[in-house]
């Protein structure tokens, strides 16, 4: 959705301040029911409407302001009250949650250059505000996306960390989609009388270009807006991996190694380390689940069923005698994947061997879906695996680039280290690709 393009203002000059004294323990105060207005955050204005956590400046009329407020209070209730994310009413310049708490300012503007909305920030006060073009004031895909940026600012530790930069959009779209569709936000939506919405996933990009680096900010081919189903997978945690689940937020921020400019994958690696799972395994399981979009997200699953015929699955070239080779342009890059539907004829035993040609490490998985919708995942050993595919069942092979070690990389400036795909061949018996 090009219209959702917005700007993250990352200043090179500021660093966070550790305001919490090293001695003494502060017991966090409970937030007040009505936050304090701060008209100095953003341009201010003479006409506004307040809610407990927001101030809406310049709305077309009261009805628009009320609708924006209901949507944002619902989002606040879901992410801050129910899921425990840090309040955007708290300054990111202080490393404690003891207040003061300020209303988040939202400014309605006639238009914004090249964007529907954006989230500037007052670096001195440590508070963000939202600018929203008039026509988008009540659109969750825009406004809750920007609210996601405000939440990321409030969490603090990704600010000025360039290798997290592209992930801000991934998080913001995750926030918007979770608000719109997730059972996690259902109580909050109900409380503020907000409807469940449609998913904003773009599966033709996510799956059709799954060979790309998992979060890629390259101009014209970027996937950083679309890559959020990875976060949905981590958050829903259908594989019940210790260290994942709803706690990844605020975990990816609170556990961020201060000023390290590490990537979010590095934080996730630490979050799951106590449970003994490797981040490479998590990424491989995520892509395996994307074969049939089996990530506990019914609306995404429905979207996949209706769009699958339009998704580009042409990943392999036929070399004859059951041998296939990955197309060079679609070799899976850093933490990217190929999802390969297998054509079978009736009940059959399928056996597959994936062989890396040259450098790199791959994790292949066989995935089989029953007519009922239940999906089973067959891990492969040393690149080989086999599975009995029953009548009416459907099989896919998922091949994921899982390098031995994480790379410190900036998705906006990919280099060969991450943006070179792994070449491989596949031998298939019992099916064709
Ligand atoms: C699959 O392999 C098993 C074990 O070798 C065999 O019993 C079964 O008949 C095979 N199924 C098909 C459909 O060929």
Q: Same structural domain for residues 62 and 160?
A: yes
**C-alpha 399 – ligand 1 centre gap (Å):** 25
Nearest CA to ligand 1 atom 8: 349
Q: Same structural domain for residues 419 and 328?
A: yes
In this prediction, residue 29 carries a pLDDT of 81
Facing residues of 385 across strands?
352
Nearest CA to ligand 1 atom 6: 349
Question: Could you tell me if residue 269 is inside a domain?
Answer: yes
- Distances in Å between the Cα of 202 and the Cα atoms of 34, 130, 177, 426 are 38, 25, 11, 28
Question: Could you tell me if residue 358 is inside a domain?
Answer: yes
Q: Same structural domain for residues 260 and 157?
A: no
Q: Same structural domain for residues 81 and 190?
A: yes
Q: Same structural domain for residues 152 and 39?
A: yes
DSSP letter (8 states) at residue 318: E
**C-alpha 321 – ligand 1 centre gap (Å):** 21
Cβ(347) – ligand 1 distance below 6 Å: yes
Question: Could you tell me if residue 216 is inside a domain?
Answer: no
**C-alpha 370 – ligand 1 centre gap (Å):** 18
- Distances in Å between the Cα of 409 and the Cα atoms of 157, 223, 413 are 17, 15, 8
Cβ(391) – ligand 1 distance below 6 Å: no
**C-alpha 387 – ligand 1 centre gap (Å):** 10
- The total number of structural domains in the chain stands at 2
In the predicted structure, residue 10 carries a pLDDT above the cut 90: no
Between CA 397 and CA 369 the distance in angstroms is 12
SS3 label, residue 400 = strand
Instruction: Note the maximum CA span of the chain.
Output: 75
Kind and range of the H or E run holding 68: helix 62-76
Q: Same structural domain for residues 192 and 321?
A: no
Kind and range of the H or E run holding 122: strand 121-122
Give pLDDT tens digits for 332-386: 999 999 999 999 999 999 999 999 999 999 999 999 999 999 999 999 999 999 9
Range of the domain at 279: 250-429
Mean pLDDT computed over 396-420: 98
**C-alpha 353 – ligand 1 centre gap (Å):** 18
Give pLDDT tens digits for 149-185: 999 999 999 999 999 999 999 999 999 999 999 999 9
Q: Same structural domain for residues 282 and 419?
A: yes
Give pLDDT tens digits for 262-320: 999 999 999 999 999 999 999 999 999 999 999 999 999 999 999 999 999 999 999 99
Cβ(388) – ligand 1 distance below 6 Å: yes
Give pLDDT tens digits for 116-147: 999 999 999 999 999 999 999 999 999 999 99
Ligand 1 nearest atom to the CA of residue 346, by list position: 13
Q: Same structural domain for residues 261 and 335?
A: yes
Ligand 1 nearest atom to the CA of residue 388, by list position: 1
**C-alpha 313 – ligand 1 centre gap (Å):** 28
Token match 């996730």: residue?
Answer: 268
Q: Same structural domain for residues 167 and 263?
A: no
Nearest CA to ligand 1 atom 10: 349
Question: Could you tell me if residue 136 is inside a domain?
Answer: yes
With the most atoms of ligand 1 within 8 angstroms of its CB, the residue from 346, 349, 368, 395 to mutate is 349
Q: What pLDDT band is residue 25 in, cutting at 50, 70 and 90?
A: low
**Domain boundary pick from 160, 184, 200:** 200
Facing residues of 388 across strands?
349
DSSP letter (8 states) at residue 31: P
Q: What CATH code is carried by the domain that includes residue 375?
A: 2.60.120.380
CA–CA–CA angle 68, 74, 75 (5° rounding): 90
């Amino acid at each position: 959705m090009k219209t959702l393009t917005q700007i993250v203002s990352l200043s090179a000059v500021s660093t966070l301040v550790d305001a919490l004294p090293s001695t003494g323990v502060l017991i966090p105060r409970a937030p007040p029911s009505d936050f304090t207005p701060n008209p100095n955050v953003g341009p201010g204005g003479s006409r506004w409407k307040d809610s407990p956590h927001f101030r809406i400046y310049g709305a077309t009329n009261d009805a628009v302001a009320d609708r924006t407020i209901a949507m944002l209070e619902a989002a606040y209730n879901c992410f801050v009250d129910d899921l425990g994310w840090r309040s955007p009413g708290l300054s990111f310049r202080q490393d404690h949650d003891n207040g003061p708490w300020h209303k988040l300012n939202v400014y309605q503007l006639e238009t914004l250059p090249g964007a529907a909305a954006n989230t500037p920030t007052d670096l001195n006060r440590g508070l963000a505000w939202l600018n929203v073009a008039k026509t988008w004031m009540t659109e969750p895909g825009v406004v809750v996306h920007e609210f996601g940026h405000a939440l990321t600012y409030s969490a603090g530790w990704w600010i000025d960390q360039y290798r997290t930069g592209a992930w801000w959009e991934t998080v913001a779209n995750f926030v918007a989609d979770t608000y719109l569709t997730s059972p996690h936000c259902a109580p909050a939506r109900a409380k503020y009388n907000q409807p469940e919405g449609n998913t904003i996933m773009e599966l033709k990009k996510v799956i059709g270009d799954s060979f790309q680096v998992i979060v890629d900010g390259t101009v014209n081919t970027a996937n950083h807006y679309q890559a959020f189903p990875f976060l949905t997978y981590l958050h829903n945690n259908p594989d019940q991996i210790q260290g994942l689940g709803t706690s990844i937020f605020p975990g990816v921020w609170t556990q961020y190694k201060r000023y390290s400019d590490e990537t979010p994958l590095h934080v996730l690696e630490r979050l799951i380390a106590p449970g003994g799972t490797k981040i490479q395994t998590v990424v491989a399981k995520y892509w395996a689940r994307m074969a049939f979009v089996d990530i506990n997200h019914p609306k995404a699953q429905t979207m996949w069923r209706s769009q699958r015929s339009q998704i580009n699955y042409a990943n392999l070239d036929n070399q004859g005698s059951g041998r296939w080779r990955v197309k060079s342009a679609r070799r899976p890059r850093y933490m990217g994947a190929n999802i390969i539907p297998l054509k079978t004829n009736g009940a059959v035993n399928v056996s597959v061997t994936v062989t890396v040609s040259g450098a790199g490490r791959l994790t292949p998985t066989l995935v089989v879906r029953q007519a009922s919708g239940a999906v089973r995942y067959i891990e492969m050993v040393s690149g080989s695996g086999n599975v009995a595919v029953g009548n009416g069942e459907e099989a896919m092979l998922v091949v994921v680039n899982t390098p031995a070690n994480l790379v410190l990389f900036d998705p906006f400036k990919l280099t060969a280290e991450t943006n070179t795909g792994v070449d491989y061949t596949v031998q298939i018996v019992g099916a064709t690709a």
